[in-house]
Chains A and B, each alone.
Chain A
Amino acid sequence: MTPPFAEQLNLRLCHRCKYASPMDNGPSHCARCMAPLHYRKPGAITRAWALTLAALVLYVPANTLPIMRTSALHRDSTTTILGSVVELWQQGAWDIALIIFIASVGVPVTKFLALGYLLVTVQWRSTRSRKERTQLYRLLELIGYWSMLDVFVAGLLTALVQFGPLGGIEPRPGILYFGLVVVLTMMATLSFDPRLIWDTGKANE
């Protein structure tokens, strides 16, 4: 037996308190927590596209600009994210190199591909593998902020290694773009509405 959809029972889910709000008098706000009620998140597809594309654009400087500058008496070097991964790999710290690679390249690229795929299939009103696509969305929610890793590493190293005029570690603009990519992709994920995946083909169930 398949469960009914909220719409068929004239109910609406409150996104804030998860209350099943009866829509008999067409209330515009949740009776329990007073949050505004929406049938689906407003402008979900447009917002998710806009935020994803903005993040994609910023992902270019995030990778090409240096994220950190290390200065010492006789050495002064800047590294990009990929540069630091390669450097760690060559030093033999392949495990940390792998963690940073997954957090900084794997996670954002997965997010771009997954968001693009979900948006395109919803717009094509695809009815295929809806359960798997919903699971993909939950994966997106789960990996949300893990790409902030490099930002925090940069902050900690900067605070830690301050040798005054002799040198130290400083953050560089790459880290700013990187953080913005994380925030924008998180906002894109939050503004997408996974219920749109199920809105197609309800009639023939």
Chain B
Amino acid sequence: MSESTQLVICEYCDSVYERQALDRHQRAHCQRCGALLDRHPWLGVDQLLALSATAGILLAFVCFYPILRIYTRDQSGSATLLEAVLALFDGSIGLIGVTAAFGVILVPAAQIGLLIWLLAFARKQRHAPGFQPCMRLLEVLRPWSMLEVFLLGALVAVVKLTGRIDTAPAAGLFALAALSLLMVGVAGRDIRMLWDQLS
């Protein structure tokens, strides 16, 4: 087993390479198809854990604190991430609410939970209970997190309303921006290093 962890297979064209030690900012690309094979991890276990915990707090924040506010002469309104998702559960189109809930709440929450679980044990050089299924689930979840799109959606919504209603960004919008950035770093490929570090 130790022998074949020294090999990298390109997932796009099935070419086999010997794993090279990479320095900071170095990347290995496939000669045949140009795909990214490997890169130096951005973050270590401790940093990943700290940022995952931060992401968890931010996710809770954007779920319950307004992202945008609107003002009219006699009324004002606001929307949180949770409210925006719940608004899509309306009657006949409820299915889209399920999809949206998965993309911006359930998948990120599951990713953060799994990361904290795996990393907390990894700090003590131990495999978390259910290590293998948790690692596999993280790979399955990765393409389905849609927070960045929601962020762009919030900006589009502001522009759509300007001119008709006074709109202002609220604290949640900045938390959402920070969260989308964090998730790019935290939920990426870096966690795969646990396979090598803990064996």
A residues contacting B by CB (< 8 A) are 2-7, 9, 11, 13, 15-22, 31-35, 88, 91, 93, 96, 99-100, 103, 130-131, 134-135, 137-138, 141, 144-146, 148-163, 170-173, 175-176, 179-180, 182-183, 186, 190, 194-195, 197-198
Contacts and interface: CB of A to CB of B under 8 A. Distances in A.
A160 B78 contact: yes
Given A2-B31, A3-B16, A153-B160, A11 B9 contact: yes
SS of B interface (majority): helix
A42 B79 CA distance: 43
Given A16-B135, A96-B160, A134 B86 contact: no
B4 interface: yes
B21 interface: no
Contacts of B9: 6, 11, 13, 18, 20
Given A31-B1, A134-B34, 6 more contacts: A20-B5, A99-B156, A145-B149, A158-B84, A173-B93, A195-B11
B99 A153 contact: no
B76 to A, nearest CB: 10
B1 A18 contact: no
Contacts of B63: none
Nearest to B150: A152
Interface in B105-164: 132, 135-136, 139-140, 143-144, 146, 149-150, 152-154, 156-157, 159-161, 163
B34 A135 contact: yes
A196 B114 CA distance: 33
Nearest to B146: A145
Given A17-B195, A96-B156, A198-B13, A161 B70 contact: yes
Contacts of B152: 99, 103, 146, 149
Nearest to B104: A152
A171 B87 contact: yes
Contacts of A32: 1, 132, 195, 199
B143 A141 contact: yes
A134 B156 contact: no
Given A19-B5, A20-B8, A131-B34, A156 B13 contact: no
A65 to B, nearest CB: 10
B14 to A, nearest CB: 5
Nearest to B97: A155
B24 interface: no
B33 interface: yes
Contacts of A11: 4, 7, 9, 16
Contacts of B14: 5-7, 13, 195, 198
B77 to A, nearest CB: 6
B197 interface: no
A197 B13 contact: yes
Nearest to A163: B75
B33 A158 contact: no
Nearest to B9: A13
